[in-house]
Amino acid sequence: MPPVLGVIRETAPGETRVALLPEHLKKALAPVKGGPPGWAGVVQAGAGERAFAFDDAYRAAGAEVVPDADAVAARCDVLLAVGPPGADLIGSMKPGGVLLGLLDPAGGGDHLQACAERGVTAIAFERLPRITRAQKADVLSSMSTAAGYRAVLRAAALCPKFFPMMMTAAGTITPSRVLVLGAGVAGLQAIATARRLGAIVEAYDVRAAAREQVLSLGARFVDLGGVSSDAETAGGYAREQSAEEQARQREALAGVIAEADVVITTALIPGKPAPRLIDAATVERMRPGAVVVDLAAPAGGNCELTEPGATVERGGVRIDGPVNLPAELPVDASRMFGQNALAFLEELRDDGAVRVDLDNDMVGPACVVHAGELRLDAARAAPSPAPTEEAPS
């Protein structure tokens, strides 16, 4: 019998995504090169309905639909989840089973300890190495793409001005000025989306390598004198800057921010609080009606006044702190997540069975719990070969 994939209904507040759509399950369940099915599938009833994927579509794809999450967990060899499930559900999983998803290994929840106690292997997409071979499974980049796109739409809805220049009977309407801080995957998608909407776009990133990417999208790269150009890690991420560097950066950025109609911030340091790029004094300098959309809100925010999960107004400036932008695009965000998950599943399948090979250059670095032991430090320290072209936001 082929190994069983399990898909559950996400329970986090506001979460609309599903780990696999019916189209993905159909591919996973298809025979391998004319042989037996690659996987069997069991899906919790209602798992995909918030992404407009209904139970009948899962049945048509060949999956069995069962009433509750515990029944899925008890039967599957690999449980796919967008976000970390609760410890109680993990307690229903088979010892030796695999939990695969965005598991927030730096968040300190009890789900990873529950995996260790149950003998469940936990593999976190957040720890996937930045190597070319792993791009096909890069969930973080996919979700950052969704977040960058959606952030611009939120900004456009909050902004009291048109984004594009318009020639009207009432005269010429000047375009909005959009500033994007952080030119990783989310930032680059925000730049491209704002440009498509007709705004004048500027962008800034501490990594010197980001300049060419920003210019290629038709935006202006903001060059701040006195800010270190050696700001990129070997894995392609922005390194954490010193307090002195951050202070210089805030001071140099303040004038540029004050001239913007919209500021979209995306700066994140993996496993660290988000760097503060906009302080309260800078917000006071912004023009009334200006908008800040802070994609770093879940990590504390790039703006001092950000309140995660809320939109607040200070001196006529609206500051938006979204905490799960991909969930606002459940169909395509789920499609991207599922396609990445399918690619990673190929690394786990071995001759009709599930095999966790810690020497695999994708599996080993992403594995955070195995054989009853937490591997957070081992996963973090796993070697990462040459970075991919785009560094994450």
Rounded to whole angstroms, the Cα distance separating 36 from 1 reads: 8
Q: Is 44 a catalytic residue?
A: no
Residue 33, Cβ density class (10 Å: 0-12 exposed, 13-18 middle, ≥19 buried): exposed
Catalytic-labelled residue, pool 44, 92, 141, 241? 141
Tell me the CA distances in angstroms from 351 to 32, 43, 354, one per residue in order. 10, 24, 8
Q: And the tokens for 391?
A: 């560094």
Rounded to whole angstroms, the Cα distance separating 168 from 236 reads: 45
Catalytic-labelled residue, pool 17, 118, 127, 130? 130
Rounded to whole angstroms, the Cα distance separating 329 from 201 reads: 24
Q: Is 220 a catalytic residue?
A: no
Q: Is 204 a catalytic residue?
A: no
Nearest to 83 by CA among 108, 107, 101, 106: 101
Residue 208, Cβ density class (10 Å: 0-12 exposed, 13-18 middle, ≥19 buried): middle
Q: Is 320 a catalytic residue?
A: no
Catalytic-labelled residue, pool 68, 70, 104, 135? 135
User: What is the amino acid identity at position 212?
Assistant: E
Torsion angle (degrees, nearest 10) of CA 178, 179, 184, 189: 0
Nearest to 198 by CA among 162, 160, 153: 162
Catalytic-labelled residue, pool 77, 138, 294, 320? 138
Q: Is 141 a catalytic residue?
A: yes
Tell me the catalytic residues: 130, 135, 138, 141, 237
